[in-house]
A and B are shown apart, each in its own frame.
Chain A
Amino acid sequence: MSKAIIEHSVASETFNKDEPYVDWHDETLWFVRQKRDKSSKLLPEWEQLRETASGIKNYVLSHMDELLIAFEQKAKENGIHIHWAADAAEHNEIVLNLLKQNNIDKMVKSKSMLTEECHMNEFLSKSGIEVIDTDLGERIVQLRNEPPSHIVLPAIHLKKKDIGDLFHEHLGTEAGATDPQYLTEAARQHLRDKFLTRRAALTGVNFAIAETGGFVVSTNEGNADMGAHLADIHIASMGFEKIIPKQKDLAVFLRLLARSATGQPITTYSSHFKKPREGQEMHIIIVDNGRTTQLGRADFRNSLKCIRCGACMNTCPVYRRSGGHSYHNAVAGPIGSILAPNLDMTKNADLPFASTLCGSCSNVCPVKIDIHDQLYKWRQVLVKGGHVPQAKELGIKAMSVVLSQPRFYQWSGRLGRSLMRTIPFVVNNGMNPWFKQREMPEPPKESFRDWYIRNRKE
């Protein structure tokens, strides 16, 4: 994207200006997280399922090339065309060429975070291709000209009123209407017309199966199916890490995916595509775009196990109070903050710092990615590589001076405590980032160290 990037801390500061709105955002996502908890507790084997999913994905990482070759061969036998794209640009070119060859200038698309990562819509529209997003949330953000703010709940940052106003302007709904049922119906009619008239459909891929050469797409609305089954040509875009060995492994992943995402026992539609229907063309684009590099980074390769459930975002105290757009990356939240620096360390150096490292993300992740450990490791890589803004770097350096010299540590602690007691405005002001959204604690009269020495003597 050509737009200048606003750092996460700055963007979240703007987001935080409207306090009731932030509270609402926070609570809405927390509610989704609670639904995940309830749902997971209904399965006694939940933890074993996570362990198994993680194990299968570890196997996948270490057999990636063989699995992809097997998948390609099977898919070809099934009559599917396979394309390989080294990067976003190549992916976009392949899509454009397929459309041009078929004289198509309008396409429907169901949710695909990969095409967001590749900025495909933008690219295609410059080439005169109209792309309509068909997932309701995606369509909403598309009409607003903004990217999704969450990988599962693209319009989670918007209120009914925002959507009512938007639909009034674009779909001709009544002014001031905010009833979700009414607004959804308007979108249904609007999109049905697109489904019935578009000759090309693009979908994402949730899982690709080496054993069968088929792939699975999960939705709640049925939009991927509506698009694909009515179009003459179906293009499916997948990051290569979406591969799994056997069809029966889907049992493990489909049991985990929706429960982790929204608390549903399974998404409404889990569509298994294996062969094109008669008279239809089916294409799969297997995309790298930095994934091979990530696979080579021992500390970060586990991020490729992600099944995009969004649970880590829903639980993250920073995401909930800063909003998806503050991450300036197709995938926001904790997992996005691991994936983004792999794509561009300089542009995304701020993201691994947008975390409290509380570990909640790692605790909910259905494939047991060590998310918070990876965020911690990225920080060190980024500081060492000189990608971190000076202020942050100075802070970290000062911290390491203080922490490495016990006498200095004791002295600065004593100074801090007495300052906070005698002249509290030194710390209780807007200059101190710790004061934002919090009250500073009452300082203790003595340090733990002093207390410990005194008590041991007694």
Chain B
Amino acid sequence: MTSREKILQQIKLNKPAETPFPETTRFDSLYENTEEKFIETLTAIYTEVIVVKDLAELARKADELYASVANRATTIPALSNWADFSLNNPDPHALELIEIAILQAEFGVAENGAIWISDAHLPHRALPFITQNLAFVIPRKAIVNNMHDAYERLTETTGWGCFISGPSKTADIEQSLVIGAHGARSLVIFLLEEA
């Protein structure tokens, strides 16, 4: 008998009597202002939120913020002039030089400040982790209340996706919080008024 058969057979023999699935599995979080809650949560986890009117203002802000930074990459066509690092190389290891990446993300969650990003909008899964600094652009309208709402949106998932909430961090040395463990050292969210 293979281990697979052995395990499944043992489970069948040993599992408890049938228990029904719980009736309620979703809850509504009612925030007076979802965007405010979203910004508040992100600020508490060391993330800056910048509201921009349109793509032109986004480009201006990007120039301003990262004026002296080389190795800039982006997945946003309107920023192609701003970027000086091409993402066309098929080898993800080449991305290690990136200092700042501004990426299209899909939506945000007010209750925990998580941003959903997936390979639907990414040429490389490693990109949001390997870049030294990270920024996401999400439409202002794309903020949901809580994780239940988030998964209602996520019926069509791709091969890989991730909720990212703030810059990489650790508190493994005597519980002192340090930002920038392995992933991005900083995170900025651009909320786009007109998508």
Interface residues of A (CB under 8 A from B): 28, 31-32, 43, 45, 48-49, 51-52, 55-56, 58-59, 61-65, 68-69, 78, 84-86, 90, 134-137, 140, 153-156, 158-160, 163, 180-181, 183-185, 187-188, 191-192, 195-196, 212, 214, 220-223, 225-226, 228-230, 240, 245, 247-252, 254-255, 262, 264-277, 286, 288, 292-293, 295-296, 298, 301
Q: List 22 A-B contacts (CB under 8 A).
A: A28-B175, A55-B19, A62-B18, A62-B19, A69-B8, A78-B159, A84-B2, A86-B3, A155-B173, A160-B173, A192-B182, A220-B169, A223-B182, A229-B126, A245-B21, A247-B151, A251-B148, A267-B165, A268-B169, A272-B157, A273-B160, A288-B3
Return chain B residues, CB-CB under 8 Å to A270. 114, 162-163
Q: In the complex, which residue of chain A has the Cβ closest to the Cβ of B96?
A: A196
Q: B173 and A223: CB pair below 8 A? A: no
Instruction: Tell yes or no: B81 within 8 A of A by CB.
Output: no
Interface size class, chain B: 35 or more
Fill in one digit per residue for B158-181: 1 if any A CB lies within 8 Å of its CB, else 0: 111111111111111111101011
Return chain A residues, CB-CB under 8 Å to B13. 296
Q: Which of A32, A45, A255 contacts B175 (CB 8 A)?
A: A32
Give complex CA distance A183, B178 in Å.
10
Q: A180 and B25: CB pair below 8 A? A: no
Contact (A49, B27) CB under 8 Å given A56-B22, A62-B18: yes
Return chain A residues, CB-CB under 8 Å to B11. 64-65, 68, 240, 292, 295
Contact (A181, B147) CB under 8 Å given A59-B22, A269-B162, A277-B160: no
Instruction: Tell yes or no: B111 within 8 A of A by CB.
Output: yes
Return chain A residues, CB-CB under 8 Å to B55. none
Q: A269 and B164: CB pair below 8 A? A: yes
Give complex CA distance A212, B20 in Å.
21
Q: A188 and B25: CB pair below 8 A? A: no
Q: A155 and B172: CB pair below 8 A? A: yes
Instruction: Tell yes or no: B188 within 8 A of A by CB.
Output: no
Query: Known pairs A248-B26, A268-B45. 18 more at Cβ < 8 A?
Result: A28-B174, A56-B25, A63-B18, A86-B6, A158-B174, A187-B181, A230-B126, A240-B7, A251-B25, A251-B151, A254-B147, A266-B113, A268-B183, A271-B160, A274-B161, A275-B159, A276-B159, A295-B11
Give complex CA distance A49, B24 in Å.
9
Return chain B residues, CB-CB under 8 Å to A154. 172
Interface residues of B (CB under 8 A from A): 2-4, 6-8, 10-22, 24-27, 29, 41, 45, 92-93, 96, 111-114, 119, 124-126, 128-130, 146-148, 150-152, 154, 157-176, 178, 180-184
Return chain B residues, CB-CB under 8 Å to A286. 7
Return chain B residues, CB-CB under 8 Å to A192. 96, 182
Q: In the complex, which residue of chain B has the Cβ closest to the Cβ of A214?
A: B157
Q: A292 and B7: CB pair below 8 A? A: yes
Q: Which of A49, A156, A247 contacts B154 (CB 8 A)?
A: A247
Q: A136 and B119: CB pair below 8 A? A: no
Closest 3 CB pairs of A and B: A222-B183, A296-B14, A55-B22
Q: B160 and A274: CB pair below 8 A? A: yes
Q: A188 and B165: CB pair below 8 A? A: no
Contact (A159, B180) CB under 8 Å given A62-B18, A268-B165, A296-B14: no
Q: In the complex, which residue of chain B has the Cβ closest to the Cβ of A245?
A: B21
Return chain B residues, CB-CB under 8 Å to A48. 24, 27
Closest chain A CB from B158 CB (angstroms): 7
Q: B3 and A84: CB pair below 8 A? A: yes
Give complex CA distance A270, B161 in Å.
9
Give complex CA distance A154, B176 in Å.
14
